[in-house]
Every structure is written in C-alpha cells, then in structure tokens.
Amino acid sequence: MTRRHFLATTAASTLAFAAEPERKWRVAVIGNKGSYGHSLDSMWLTLPETEIVAVADLDAKKLADTLKKLGITKGFAD
C-alpha cells in the first residue's frame, strides 16, 4: 500500500464516520505473527464510533496477548 492510497482510504473513512455519527462501526484486527503495524490494533480504541469485534493472528501467544490488551474475547487463528 502506498502512502497516497493510505491517506485516501483514511480520508474516505473519516468522511464516512462524519456522515453517520450515531452509527457504530465494527472493526476486525488482522495481524501477522503479532505485528499490527504502527499500533493499528489499539488505535481503534480511541475512536468512540468504532467497536473492535475480533482479532485474527497466526501466532497463538500474540493473539492471546492482543485479545487481552484490547479487552475482547473473539479471536481467530486464520
């Protein structure tokens, strides 16, 4: 993903959130052996209009740690 694509996607997401302020967006976090890239797993906790509903990661230990860190129970290995 290029920086330009990331910024365009982020801008579009921000506009979507602004368009429906009372809507709760459900988020799934997908990792790669414990790596979520620049704290993208926990940044969702700072957005009141989002709810993290699941985490997926190949590494069972990292998955368990992330579930605990994010305060959710639904995790997937695939």
- pLDDT tens column, 64-73: 998 999 999 9
Q: The domain spanning residue 42 has which CATH number? A: 3.40.50.720
Helix (H, G, I), strand (E, B) or coil at 63: helix
Residue 30 domain flag: yes
pTM (predicted TM-score): 0.65
Which two three-digit tokens encode residue 69? 């860190």
Give the pLDDT confidence score for residue 74 in this predicted structure.
Answer: 94
Number of domains in the chain: 1
Residue 75 domain flag: yes
Residue 10 domain flag: no
Residue 11 domain flag: no
* Structural domain boundaries enclosing 66: 24-78
Residue 19 domain flag: no
Residue 8 domain flag: no
Residue 55 domain flag: yes
Q: Which residues of the chain are under the pLDDT cut of 70?
A: 1, 4-9, 11-21, 34, 37-38
